[in-house]
């Protein structure tokens, strides 16, 4: 027993001595040994995706707590705030062969919920139907477009749109569902306002009616109004009501006019540079009014050359404009001009069965561009074409559709109408390569018919409309 007590006492003494030595060593290490010491303690960071991130400033020194010399610290920033994830910012302090690294952990997260946008706050559904049309989109600050991830929960009175982003952020939007029809039916008329000469009978062009819930309800349309043989403006009314009591009504104006057959005020509509992809539409518009015009055609669009023959068969006059419409070639010499003219005349003959003897010079007889290629050529051509049996036409009213400025159809129509007066002959310049100019034709014709003008086509005996020759 005594021996054991001596052993324990002896070992306890060793333990105390060892502990004291260790304490002295540690104390010496912290107080007197030289090492790299970082002066800051950094906490781990959590930041929002796409936010601005600036690493914290860190300083370090080499030495001990009594004397420490500042050293350089290198920064290695791996943080990409555009991507969610865990990153590190490393600070490496160096002094000679000594190095020490401090790591700051950074977590980039997305805590922002997506956004759902819908076109309507309430949707109307036809009674007894489960069909509805809802337009919506969903977007997220991180994932971008989430529209294809939207789910819908439909109840009797609402539609709930739901979406989650890749970080688990969720959002919902409730759209009210109203099971009633508040939409008026739609009536469509074949053609628009109609002009017919006195003595002609009115033939209904046609109409249709449709409803969002009932479908085709043309058979429910009520037509009222009548047209007499007297000059004047008459109104035909079309009305319809759907099964929910929603109604629509539309009027058609029928203008009965007295044609001016004495030739005192004649409009000659002319179209250059075609035929084109728009010429068919123009021909249909002209048929509606039974108005005939003059086409000064080119060979630039061979795929539409068949429309030269089609226009001729519908009673329109065909004149020659140019085959190539290449000014540098056409006006390079007398021979080049007639070679080009004969080429387009051959195309006209192949389509109509006859040659044309009316022409319009490219750019008109007053053009100055020809000066660039042959001085005085327009003066020579003006006399030579007539010597060869042709008659050339310029214009005294312009639609402005070749000015280079794009206008809507109402402006082209206004340009023509403003150019008319009380004279006897108005040769109007348009181009059937300009769709808006073509769609101005209805307004031009309707104005002319209602203001005492008649419409005619040009031929070898037409009015002399010439510009002052400038070359």
Does residue 4 surpass a pLDDT of 60? no
269: alpha, beta or left? (left if phi > 0; alpha if psi -120 to 50): beta
- Alpha carbons within 13 A on the beta-carbon side of 414: 5
Does residue 323 surpass a pLDDT of 90? yes
Residue 36 binned pLDDT confidence (cut-offs 50, 70, 90)? very high
In the three-class reduction of DSSP (H, G, I as helix; E, B as strand; rest coil), residue 297 is classed as: strand
Q: Which residue has the higher pLDDT, 64 or 309?
A: 309
Quote the pLDDT of residue 85.
95
Residue 201 binned pLDDT confidence (cut-offs 50, 70, 90)? confident
Q: Which residue has the higher pLDDT, 281 or 192?
A: 281
Q: Cα–Cα distance between 452 and 8 in angstroms, integer?
A: 137
Q: Once rounded to an integer, what is the mean pLDDT over residues 352-368?
A: 97
Does residue 8 surpass a pLDDT of 80? no
| Residue 433 dihedral angles phi and psi, to the nearest 5° | -100, 0
Neighbours of 236 (CB within 10 A): 20
Q: Once rounded to an integer, what is the mean pLDDT over residues 215-224?
A: 96
Asked if residue 93 lies in contact with residue 99, where contact means CB atoms within 8 angstroms, the answer is yes
Q: Which two tokens stand for residue 18?
A: 């060892």
- Locate CATH 3.20.20.370 in the chain: 266-455
Quote the pLDDT of residue 23.
62
What is the overall mean pLDDT for the chain?
91
Q: Once rounded to an integer, what is the mean pLDDT over residues 365-393?
A: 96
Q: Once rounded to an integer, what is the mean pLDDT over residues 222-226?
A: 95
Does residue 262 surpass a pLDDT of 60? no
| Residue 324 dihedral angles phi and psi, to the nearest 5° | -95, -25
279-289 vs 441-450: helix crossing angle, rounded to 10: 20
CA gyration radius, the chain: 45
Q: Which of 353, 338, 437 is nearest to 388 (CA)?
A: 338
In the three-class reduction of DSSP (H, G, I as helix; E, B as strand; rest coil), residue 28 is classed as: helix
Quick one: how far is CA 187 from the chain centroid? 27
Quote the pLDDT of residue 32.
61
Burial class from Cβ neighbours inside 10 Å (0-12, 13-18, 19+) for residue 14 reads exposed
The H or E element containing residue 441 is helix 441-450
Asked if residue 187 lies in contact with residue 208, where contact means CB atoms within 8 angstroms, the answer is yes
Give the pTM: 0.55
Q: Give the pLDDT confidence of 240-255 residue by residue, as tens digits.
A: 999 999 999 999 988 8
Residue 48 binned pLDDT confidence (cut-offs 50, 70, 90)? very high
Q: Which of 172, 167, 162 is nearest to 143 (CA)?
A: 167
- Match 């950094």 to its residue by tokens: 42
Q: Which two tokens stand for residue 192?
A: 């628009």
Asked if residue 45 lies in contact with residue 105, where contact means CB atoms within 8 angstroms, the answer is yes
Q: Which of 420, 140, 150, 127 is nearest to 268 (CA)?
A: 420
| End-to-end CA separation in angstroms for the chain | 142
In the three-class reduction of DSSP (H, G, I as helix; E, B as strand; rest coil), residue 251 is classed as: strand
Quote the pLDDT of residue 215.
94
CATH fold of 266-455, please? Answer: TIM Barrel (3.20.20)
- For the ranges 38-42, 214-218, 352-356, 374-378, the lowest mean pLDDT is seen at 38-42
Q: Which residue has the higher pLDDT, 406 or 81?
A: 81
**DSSP codes, 40-93:** -----EEEETT----PPP--EEEE-SS-EEEE-EEEEE---TTS-EEEEEEEEE
Q: Cα–Cα distance between 205 and 288 in angstroms, integer?
A: 10
Does residue 348 surpass a pLDDT of 90? yes
**DSSP codes, 337-373:** HHHHHHHHHHHHHHHHSS---EE--TT-TT-SGGGGT
- Locate CATH 2.60.40.10 in the chain: 34-109, 115-178, 186-257
What would the CATH number be for the domain defined by 115-178?
A: 2.60.40.10
Residue 404 binned pLDDT confidence (cut-offs 50, 70, 90)? confident
Quote the pLDDT of residue 281.
95
Q: Cα–Cα distance between 421 and 228 in angstroms, integer?
A: 30
CATH fold of 34-109, please? Answer: Immunoglobulin-like (2.60.40)
Quote the pLDDT of residue 11.
67
Q: Which residue has the higher pLDDT, 369 or 9?
A: 369
What would the CATH number be for the domain defined by 186-257?
A: 2.60.40.10
Does residue 9 surpass a pLDDT of 60? no
Asked if residue 253 lies in contact with residue 442, where contact means CB atoms within 8 angstroms, the answer is no
Quote the pLDDT of residue 25.
63
């Amino acid at each position: 027993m005594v021996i054991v007590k001596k052993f324990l006492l002896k070992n306890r003494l060793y333990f105390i001595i060892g502990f004291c030595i260790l304490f002295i060593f540690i104390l010496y290490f912290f107080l007197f040994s030289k090492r790299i010491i970082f002066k800051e303690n950094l906490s781990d960071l959590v930041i929002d995706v796409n936010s601005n991130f600036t690493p914290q400033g860190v300083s370090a020194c080499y030495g001990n707590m009594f004397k420490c010399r500042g050293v350089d610290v290198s920064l290695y920033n791996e943080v990409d705030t555009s991507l969610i994830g865990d990153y590190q910012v490393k600070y490496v302090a160096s002094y000679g062969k000594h190095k020490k690294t401090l790591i700051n952990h950074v977590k980039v997260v997305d805590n922002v919920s997506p956004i759902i946008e819908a076109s309507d706050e309430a949707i109307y559904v036809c009674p007894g139907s489960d069909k509805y049309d809802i337009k919506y989109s969903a977007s997220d600050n991180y994932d971008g477009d989430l529209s294809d991830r939207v789910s819908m929960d439909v109840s009797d009175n609402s539609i709930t749109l739901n979406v989650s982003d890749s970080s688990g952020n969720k959002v919902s939007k409730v759209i009210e569902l109203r099971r009633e029809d508040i939409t008026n039916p739609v009536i469509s008329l074949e053609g628009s306002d109609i002009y017919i000469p006195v003595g002609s009978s009115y033939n209904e062009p046609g109409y249709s009616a449709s409803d969002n819930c009932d479908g085709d309800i043309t058979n429910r349309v009520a037509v009222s109004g009548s047209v007499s043989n007297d000059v004047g403006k008459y109104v035909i009314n079309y009305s319809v009501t759907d099964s929910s009591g929603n109604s629509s009504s539309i009027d058609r104006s029928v203008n009965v006019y007295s044609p001016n057959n004495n030739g005192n005020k004649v409009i000659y509509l002319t179209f250059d540079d075609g035929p084109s992809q728009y010429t068919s539409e123009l021909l249909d518009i002209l048929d509606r009014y039974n108005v005939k015009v003059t086409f000064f055609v080119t060979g630039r669009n061979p795929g539409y050359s068949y429309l030269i023959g089609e226009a001729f068969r519908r009673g329109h006059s065909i004149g020659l404009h140019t085959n190539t419409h290449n000014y540098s070639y056409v006006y390079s010499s007398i021979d080049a001009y007639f070679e080009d003219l004969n080429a387009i005349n051959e195309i006209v003959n192949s389509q109509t069965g006859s040659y044309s003897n009316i022409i319009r010079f490219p750019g008109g007889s007053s053009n100055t561009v020809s000066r660039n290629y042959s001085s005085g050529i327009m003066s020579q051509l003006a006399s030579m074409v007539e010597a060869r049996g042709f008659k050339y036409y310029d214009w005294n009213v312009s639609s402005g559709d070749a000015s280079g400025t794009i206008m809507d159809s109402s402006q082209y129509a206004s340009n023509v109408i403003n150019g008319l007066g009380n004279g006897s002959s108005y040769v109007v310049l348009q181009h059937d390569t300009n769709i808006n100019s073509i769609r101005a034709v209805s307004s031009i014709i309707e104005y002319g018919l209602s203001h005492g003008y008649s419409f005619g086509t040009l031929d070898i005996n037409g009015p002399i409309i010439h510009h002052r020759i400038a070359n």
